[in-house]
């Protein structure tokens, strides 16, 4: 059986997912970022270190897109598959459109942010810590 050609509606939905996903990363990085859906289907090839994803199913569209580098994608894969996670360098995730989700037992909404991920054996987070006071 032949697969049906994508419809204009499918193309529009794909472009909307790409635009939403790229809203999570600085504009200067969007051109080189790859975009995938949460099933791992590549929606846009990229040449840079970041992969962007639209808001996960179950959340209001546009509330939680994110862009992750290699270490963060490794963490996301391990978390989703309930496997061990180790990294060898600092990882960065951007959520410049905000972040809405469940954290532990609490529902939370955060504004634009970026998050590091690091293994204690990689090194100190001191150079990345914000100065308070």
Query: What is the per-residue pLDDT for 76?
Result: 84
pLDDT, averaged across the chain? 79
- Over residues 5-34, the pLDDT tens digits come to 567 778 889 999 999 999 999 999 999 999
Mean pLDDT calculated for residue range 98-121? 66
Confidence of residue 4 (pLDDT cuts 50, 70, 90): low
Q: Are 44 and 37 in contact (CB under 8 A)?
A: no
Q: What gap in Å lies between CA 107 and CA 92, rounded to an integer?
A: 23
Q: Are 26 and 17 in contact (CB under 8 A)?
A: no
Least confident of 10-14, 33-37, 96-100, 120-124: 120-124
Query: What is the per-residue pLDDT for 46?
Result: 97
> Can you tell me whether residue 95 is helix, strand or coil?
strand
115 DSSP β-pair partners? 93
DSSP string, 31-49: TT-EEE-TT--EEE--SSS
User: Cα–chain-centroid distance for residue 109?
Assistant: 16
**Reported pTM:** 0.75
């Amino acid at each position: 059986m032949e697969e049906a050609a994508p419809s204009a509606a499918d193309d529009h939905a794909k472009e909307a997912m790409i635009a939403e996903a790229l809203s999570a990363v600085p504009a200067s990085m969007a051109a080189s970022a790859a975009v995938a859906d949460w099933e791992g289907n590549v929606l846009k090839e990229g040449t840079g270190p970041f992969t962007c994803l639209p808001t996960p199913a179950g959340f209001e569209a546009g509330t939680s897109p994110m862009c992750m580098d290699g270490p963060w994608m490794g963490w996301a894969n391990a978390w989703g598959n309930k496997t061990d996670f180790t990294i060898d360098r600092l990882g960065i995730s951007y959520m410049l459109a905000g972040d809405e989700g469940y954290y532990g037992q609490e529902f939370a909404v955060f504004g634009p942010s970026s998050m590091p991920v690091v293994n204690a054996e990689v090194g100190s987070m001191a150079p990345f810590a914000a100065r308070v006071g």
